[in-house]
Amino acid sequence: MPVRSADPETDEVGRFNRLSASQANTWEDCPRLWYYQNKMRLKFPQTPPLFLGRAVEECVCRVLMESPGLVFPNAPLDVMKNGADNLLPLFDDEVPNDFLSWCESRVNTHWPKIRDEMHEEWSKDARKSGNWHDYDMDVYRDMCVTALRMHMDEVMDCKNRISESELTEWREGKRFAIPAPDGRKKEGSHPLARTGECSLVEAWEIARPWFVDPDAPQFSLNAVHPEHWFQGEYDLVYRHGGRIRIMDLKASRGGGDRSGNYVEQLRIYAMLWSITHEGQIPEALEVWYLGVGVRKEVAIPNAEEIDFLERKLNDLWHEIKGSEVTIEDCPPIPRALRGYSEGGVKTEDPSESRCATCDWSALCPNGTGDDDLPSGGVHQPPGDLKEYDLTAFADLVPRVSIFAEVFSVTNVPDKAPNITIEKDGGFAFVRIVAEESEGVLTYPENIQKGDTVRLVDVVPSTNWKGELQLKVDPYARVEKAESSEEGDIGLFDFRARWNIVGRVAYTTFKSGIGKNGKPWARKGLVLLDETSRVTVEGWDNSWPSIYNTLQQGDEVAILNVSLDAWAVDVKANLEKGSTIHVISRASD
């Protein structure tokens, strides 16, 4: 099965602490690179090709979900919204003669919406980089057609090689336990079944690979190692003819160092499949380079190689995920760049260093940075008589726990209730911004006025009216309780303002149009210190002009900020009265 969910009763690792192929490859590229991007969660620049690649994959999958035997070439893009079971099979004279032309028509239907949605998502990303309009949208649209042309090779192979028993079983309605997404829920004989030799429509249905349903929740279709320390998500898994073949879609031309990582990723996926399928080894691994229409075959690891790869990855998990990792554990030792030409063809390795193009060169000792990061301390601004205590990021306390009584509950259809709590004559609003965490509600379903509750690890703040509010995100919860516990605080006992110091990793910017129709913009800084990372955000006009001069590697102190948090990320808010001071410049 292409999906293997975690067992919640035995999973002691957790969804956010598993190893992945991309993390393993990043570690091999450079341990320090892994540290910055996975331990410090620094986000590399989000360029349009990253989003366009996702758009290509979604478009291909949406066409694969459909069928030339059910959907007219010019049908609307939401033709499958009520499921395939509610579509009548086309008559034989309505089925297209040229399936590739049908695929191209369906791409033309789906692509504009997917492309525009991805453009909007990129536009909202605080780390976006580049210019969307520098990229030819038709080139990426053509990649969708190229992927479906490759798929048609599989359809024809299925039609020509299918056994009588496989065809009969399919016609009678036999399906995989985890079938390819096709919009069908009804059981029984397949509505597109014919008699005699396998028709092209039947071959399309039988050959349809498993892929990630674009409408499925994130992370819900992963394959998880039985011991839970590794997870992966296949692009395409072909299973017709009893042969397992795993294909990886790449919206690229296949040149450059990254092509080496694609090979390793597929070998890791072969390991994952074997471990979750009682030693079965896939019969083929391929990278589909859609920019040049090349199907690159990847050598299939044998049983011994799979065993070695599993042990190596498990050792890596214990090294970087199963224990606390510091910057000293992740030395800047980059591996040499690998040479590949278009289509992933191996060429001579380049002589340049990986560090020359690294996004974090101004932070790293192999670039122009160093590991002497700040960690709290004191700061006295020039001309100021007062010294300010600076708190290390790991010592910031954005969350609190409070025992209180429910003052009012207002139920809202299809949403979490609006809750107000009261304690010692004070009141606070409870903002439930995440209704579930790991599939469990973050609040009691039957909560009502007069209940006593503990608000565990909530994030306190004030709204624009100055009213106290307590945010419930995936790391917080509201639970009924009879009494307080050690560590619970009073309603107004949390610290409202903090002073911090850190090294600039990068700046952020996001903007939009508010509900009142007015434009808004927020700027930010992502800072590192010896202990952790923090994002500082504020309205565009709240930042002093010195913000525009900051570069990666500069060190700054920011005084009088409030705290916010989402899951493991801590954020500092630039408030009225906050000030920013440059401690040192990277250029110095």
pLDDT per position in the chain (588 positions), as tens? 798 888 888 988 888 899 999 999 999 999 999 999 999 999 999 999 999 999 999 999 999 999 999 999 999 999 999 999 999 999 999 999 999 999 999 999 999 999 999 999 999 999 999 999 999 999 999 999 999 999 999 999 999 999 999 999 999 999 999 999 999 999 899 999 999 999 999 999 999 999 999 998 887 889 999 999 999 999 999 999 999 999 999 999 999 999 999 999 999 999 999 999 999 999 999 999 999 999 999 999 999 999 999 999 999 999 999 889 999 999 999 999 999 999 999 999 999 999 999 999 999 999 999 999 999 999 998 888 899 999 999 999 999 999 999 999 998 888 899 999 999 889 999 999 999 887 789 999 889 999 999 999 999 988 777 789 999 999 999 999 999 999 999 998 999 999 999 999 999 999 988 888 899 999 999 999 999 999 999 999 999 999 999 999 999 999 999 999 998 899 999 998 899 999 999 988
- Quote the distance between the C-alpha of residue 60 and its chain's center: 19
**Tokens 């309780």 -> residue:** 481
Strands (E), 329-435: 340-341, 345-346, 377-379, 388-390, 400-410, 418-423, 426-432
Beta-strand relationship, 468-472 and 426-432: parallel
State which amino acid sits at residue 114: I
Cα–Cα nearest to 409, from 401, 400, 399, 420: 420
Instruction: Give yes or no for a contact between 429 and 470, defined as CB atoms under 8 angstroms apart.
Output: yes
**Tokens 């395939």 -> residue:** 84
**Fold topology of 388-394+495-584:** OB fold (Dihydrolipoamide Acetyltransferase, E2P) (2.40.50)
The helix-helix angle for 21-29 and 258-275 (nearest 10°) equals: 140
For residues 572 and 498, give the distance between their C-alpha atoms in angstroms, rounded to a whole number: 9
| CA-CA-CA-CA torsion sign (151, 153, 154, 158) | positive
Q: What are residue 573's DSSP bridge partners?
A: 537, 562
Q: What are residue 456's DSSP bridge partners?
A: 477
**Tokens 């042309």 -> residue:** 149
For residues 227 and 229, give the distance between their C-alpha atoms in angstroms, rounded to a whole number: 6
Between the CA atoms of 50, 54, 59 and 62, what dihedral angle is there, to the nearest 10 degrees? Answer: 180
Instruction: Give yes or no for a contact between 6 and 228, defined as CB atoms under 8 angstroms apart.
Output: yes
Q: Which two tokens stand for residue 51?
A: 């989003």
373 burial type by CB count under 10 A (0-12 exposed, 13-18 middle, 19+ buried):
middle
Domain with CATH 2.40.50.140 in the chain: 388-394+495-584
Instruction: Give yes or no for a contact between 290 and 251, defined as CB atoms under 8 angstroms apart.
Output: yes
pLDDT at 377: 94
pLDDT at 245: 97
Instruction: Give yes or no for a contact between 170 and 202, defined as CB atoms under 8 angstroms apart.
Output: yes
